[in-house]
Amino acid sequence: MPTFRNLTDTAAFAALKDTTPFDVTGLSPERVTEMRIPLAADLTYSYAATPVNASVMQRLGELAGEQELIAKYRMLAEGAVMNTGEQRLVLHHLLRGQLGADVIHEGRNQREFYVEQQRRVAEFAAAVRSGAETAPSGNRYRTVVQIGIGGSDLGPRALYLALEQWARAEGIDPQIEARFVSNVDPDDAAAVLSDVDFESTLFVLVSKSGTTQETLTNEKFVQELAARRAPGIDLLKQTVAVTSQSSPMATSGAYRDAFFIDNFIGGRYSATSAVGGVVLSVAFGPEVFQRILDGAHAADRAAMEPDIRKNAALMDAMIGLYERTVLGWPATAVLPYSQALSRFPAHLQQLDMESNGKSVNRDGEPVDYATGPVVFGEPGTNGQHSFYQLLHQGTDVVPLQFVGFLDSQLGQDTEFDGSTSQTKLNANLAAQIVAFAVGKDDDNPNKRFAGGRPSTLIVGRRLTPEAVGALLAHFENKVMFQGLAWNINSFDQEGVQLGKILTKEVLGGNPGPQLAAYAALLGVT
C-alpha cells in the first residue's frame, strides 16, 4: 500500500532543489536524437529542449519512485477512492480498457457497465447513421446538437473539431454535422441554432447530475425556439440524455433514450464516456469512436511503465512539476501546429487548471508549494504572429508544449516558393523550438534573444482517431501524475461551488450587500 506524503516531505524534492538545471541554450543534435520516448498511436514525446540533464533526470525518477506514482496510478485504475474529497473512485481509464484487476463496486463490474453503455451508444448511433432511426418527422438526421457545459462541452467539441476534416478526407459517410451549445448567454444557443432544421436534428442533452442550471436553461430555450420555428414539434422525442442513472433526466423517462455515466467519471475526464461517445459516434460512426478509445487505452498502458525514461506521461509530468514548483514558472502554453486542434488547448486548460489548481492536499490540509500552472494556447503558426513576442522576449519564462504531425489531415497541399504548406508549417515549428531554446545574440539588445526557454514536442504521423485519443489520454495521465506528486486531489472541484451559491442568492432575491450592489450594476434586480 503506497504512502501519501506532501511533495515537501520527500527527499527527492529537496535534492531536486539543489540540482543545477540544464541550460537549454546548450541544446545539441544528440539530445534531439536521444531524448525521446514513444508514446502510443505513432506519437513520440521529445524532451530534448527541457532543463533536464543526467542529474535532474535522476532526481525526477527518484521523485516518481518516492511518491510511488505508478503504484498509485494502479490503485486508481483498480478502484481505490482517489477522489478523497468526494469519496469517489476515479475510473475514466476503464472506459478505454482494463488496466489491472476488475473493479467491482457495490456488486457491479464497472468495466462491464461502461462497455454496456458503449454498446448501447454504438447501436443507437449506427441506427441513426443507417437511417433506421429517424427524426419523428420521418426525416433522416443531418445534424446533432450537444447541449452541455464544461466537461460536457470542451472535450467532445475538441475531439469533434480534431476529426471533422479527417472524416471528410476519409470519405466517412454519412456526414452528420455536430454543433455545441454551452453558454447560458441566450445569444449562444440562438446563434448556433440559427440555420438548423429542427425536423432533421438530434439533440444530446448532457448533465451528469441532471440538474446543471445552464444546460437545463438551454434545453428550455431550444424547446421554445423549436416551438416557434417548427410548431407542433415534440423535441423530447428527438433528444437523448447522457446522465447518471439516478438523475431526474434519467428517471423522468421523458427522452427518446438515455445513456449512462456515473460519479466515477469526472466531467473533464468524460470525453471518452457516453458524454463524448454519443455525439462523436453519431457524427463519425461508432467504429471511429472505438478507434479514439483504442488510442487512449494504448497511452494509458504506456503510462504504466515504471522506468521514467520510457514513460512519456510520467516524464512530461515530472518535467512540468520541476518547471512549476522548483524553477517557479507560473504558466504553460500548449501550441498545436495543427488547425484541427484549435480547441484542444481550451480542453487542456480545463483538464489541467480544474484538476490541479488546488491549495490543499488530498487530506484537505494546506500545502506550501506551487501547484497547477495557468494553461493557455492557440494553434501555431497563428500564435507566432501574436503572443510569441512575450514568449521570446518577455520578462518571464513560459514553458511550451508543442504538438505537430508529419502529414496534414486532408493531404491537399500546395507548393509555393519551393515548399509545401505542410513543410512550411513544420519548418516553422522546428525553427521556433530552436529559437526559444538557443536564442541569438545581437549588439542591439532589442534584437537579442536570450534563449533558455524550454519546450517539449509531441510529434505524430497524422492526426487520426487513434492519435487524438492517445493525445487526450497522455495529458490526462500527465495531470494525474502531477497531482499525485503534489499529493493533491486532482478529481474534485470545490472551487466552483461558491459562485453557484452566490448566483442562487442573487436569483432568489436575497443577496448580501456587496452582491446586491454588483447585481444592480448589471441590471439584475
Positions annotated as catalytic residues are 354, 385, 500
List Cα–Cα distances, 313 to 233, 270, 295, 300, 502, in angstroms: 49, 19, 14, 9, 38
Q: Is 165 in contact with 201 (CB distance < 8 Å)?
A: no
Quick check: 289 binds a second copy (CB under 8 A)?
A: no
Determine if 11 is a binding residue for a second copy (CB under 8 A).
no
Q: Which residues pair with 468 in a beta bridge?
A: none
Instruction: Indicate the SS3 state at residue 88.
Output: strand
Nearest approach in angstroms of CB 131 to a second copy is 23
Pick the closer one to a second copy by CB: 259 or 337: 337
User: At which residue does the C-alpha cell 497531482 appear?
Assistant: 483
Select the residue interacting with a second copy from 102, 112, 116, 185 (CB under 8 A). 185
- Select from 87, 187, 231, 253 the one that contacts a second copy (CB under 8 A): 187
Which of 136/518 has CB closer to a second copy?
Answer: 518
* Residue 81 binds a second copy (CB under 8 A): no
Pick from 128, 330, 401, 510: which binds a second copy (CB under 8 A)?
330
Does 182 bind a second copy (CB under 8 A)? Our answer is yes
Out of 18, 20, 253, 446, which residue is the one contacting a second copy (CB under 8 A)? 446
- Least distance from a second copy to the Cβ atom of residue 269, Å: 13
Q: Of the candidates 18, 106, 173, 365, which one interacts with a second copy according to CB under 8 A?
A: 365
- Phi, then psi, of 144 in degrees rounded to 5: -125, 130
Cis, peptide link before residue 143, omega less than 30° from 0? no
For residues 390 and 434, what is the distance between their CA atoms, to the nearest angstrom? 16
Which residues, at least 6 apart from 306, have a Cβ–Cβ distance to it below 8 Å?
70
Q: How far is the CB of 127 from a second copy (least distance, A)?
A: 27
Report strand pairing: 331-336 vs 400-405: parallel
Binder of a second copy out of 174, 306, 447, 510 (CB under 8 A): 447
Among 33, 245, 251, 252, binds a second copy (CB under 8 A): 33
Q: Residues with Cβ < 8 Å from 115, sequence gap 6 or more?
A: none
Question: Rounded distance, CA 264 to CA 258, Å?
Answer: 18
Helix (H) or strand (E) run with residue 503 in it: helix 497-507
One residue of 17, 168, 237, 310 binding a second copy per CB under 8 A: 168
Taking CB under 8 A as the rule, does residue 304 contact a second copy?
no
CA nearest to 314, candidates 7, 34, 63:
63
The only residue of 1, 18, 107, 416 in contact with a second copy, by rule CB under 8 A: 416
Alpha carbons within 13 A on the beta-carbon side of 363: 6
- Closest approach of a second copy to the CB of residue 8, in Å: 13
Q: Is 433 in the site for a second copy (CB under 8 A)?
A: yes
230 binds a second copy (CB under 8 A): no
Determine the interface stretch with a second copy among 2-10, 243-251, 257-265, 390-398 (rule: CB under 8 A): 390-398
Return the C-alpha cell found at 195: 440555420
Query: Exactly one of 14, 112, 496, 510 binds a second copy (CB under 8 A); which one?
Result: 496
Residue 14 in contact with a second copy, rule: CB under 8 A: no
Provide, rounded to whole angstroms, the least separation between the CB of residue 391 and a second copy.
7
- The reply on whether position 521 binds a second copy by CB under 8 A is yes
Contacts to a second copy from residues 89-148, by CB under 8 A:
none
Q: Check binding of 251 to a second copy (CB under 8 A).
A: no
Longest CA–CA separation in the chain, Å: 74
CB closer to a second copy out of 244 and 393: 393
The amino acid present at 356, given as its one-letter code, is: N
CB 124 within 8 A of CB 227: no
Q: Which residue among 216, 233, 304, 327 contacts a second copy (CB under 8 A)?
A: 216
Give the torsion sign (CA, 380, 381, 386, 387). positive
Q: Which is nearer to a second copy, 136 or 330 (CB)?
A: 330
Taking CB under 8 A as the criterion, the residue among 54, 107, 194, 232 binding a second copy is 194
H or E stretch at 241:
strand 239-244
User: CA end-to-end span of the chain, whole Å?
Assistant: 55
- Nearest distance, CB of residue 117 and a second copy, angstroms: 23
How many residues line the site for a second copy (CB under 8 A)?
A: 157
Pick one of 65, 85, 248, 452: the residue that binds a second copy (CB under 8 A): 85
> Please, are residues 380 and 402 in contact by the beta-carbon 8 Å criterion?
yes
The cell 428527438 sits on which residue? 238
Residue 153 CB, nearest approach to a second copy (Å): 7
Strands 104-105 and 108-109: antiparallel
Q: Which is nearer to a second copy, 61 or 439 (CB)?
A: 439
**Pairing between strand 374-376 and 104-105?**
unpaired
The C-alpha atoms of residue 310 and residue 312 are separated, in whole angstroms, by 6
**In the complex, least distance from residue 483 CB atom to a second copy, rounded to whole angstroms:** 12
Report DSSP state, residue 417: T
Does position 80 interact with a second copy (CB under 8 A)? The reply is: no
Nearer to a second copy, 20 or 514 (CB): 514
Nearest to 249 by CA among 284, 286, 205: 205
Nearer to a second copy, 286 or 439 (CB): 439
Nearest of 64, 76, 489, 68 to residue 319 by alpha carbon: 64
Shortest CB 306 distance to a second copy, Å: 26
Residue 414 sits in the site that holds a second copy (CB under 8 A): yes
